[in-house]
Amino acid sequence: MSGQRICVLGLGGGGFHFSIERLVSQMPADFQLILVYVIHTQAQGNWHSPARPHRAFVVRSPTLFHDGWPRRVRSFVAACWSAAGILLATRPDCVLAVGTAQAVPFAIVARLVGVPVVFVESVTRVAGPSRTGLVLSALRLPTIHYVQWPRLASSRRVRFTGSVIA
């Protein structure tokens, strides 16, 4: 990964954030980190990895449970637009997402501009994949889709190689 730019999605606190920090801490040191947060108030102040961000952005999650369908559609379109702006401006070599709904608009745009997408299912998904994971797999958007429980690995495209937090 020497000298590469990695766009990391799903930051905002909790398990997704912790998992991303664990993944980033295991990467070689020579890369540029582009962070995409969900919540403005948690941007960068919540980042505790030794890897310092090159750039950081805030993009509202496209699906929040309390939103009605019209707002969800508008949020999804806005997230796709934001993803296009971020990916075209930063030109990452890879998009990395853990369990976040942001992965869908970013994966769509990443596919259009030729950027590989690595999606890691949340460790909390024990019995089955998340809705985000199902959508990404159905659309065949991730270059690699990892799960954190062996029984969820279903194919060459959905793999188990261990748990992020182990």
The better pLDDT of the pair 46, 112 is held by 112
**Residue 161 to residues 12, 43, 131, 137, 153: CA-CA distances in angstroms?**
25, 30, 21, 18, 9
Domains of the chain: total: 1
Q: pLDDT tens across 108-132, in order?
A: 999 999 999 988 886 565 566 778 8
Domain of 129, CATH number, reads 3.40.50.2000
Work out whether the CA dihedral 108, 83, 12, 96 comes out positive or negative. Answer: positive
Classify residue 87: in a domain, yes or no. yes
DSSP 8-state class, residue 54 = E
What residues are paired with 119 via a beta bridge? Answer: 97, 145
Give 1's pLDDT tier (boundaries 50, 70, 90): very low
Classify residue 165: in a domain, yes or no. no
| Helix ranges, 4-163 (H) | 14-25, 69-90, 103-113, 131-138
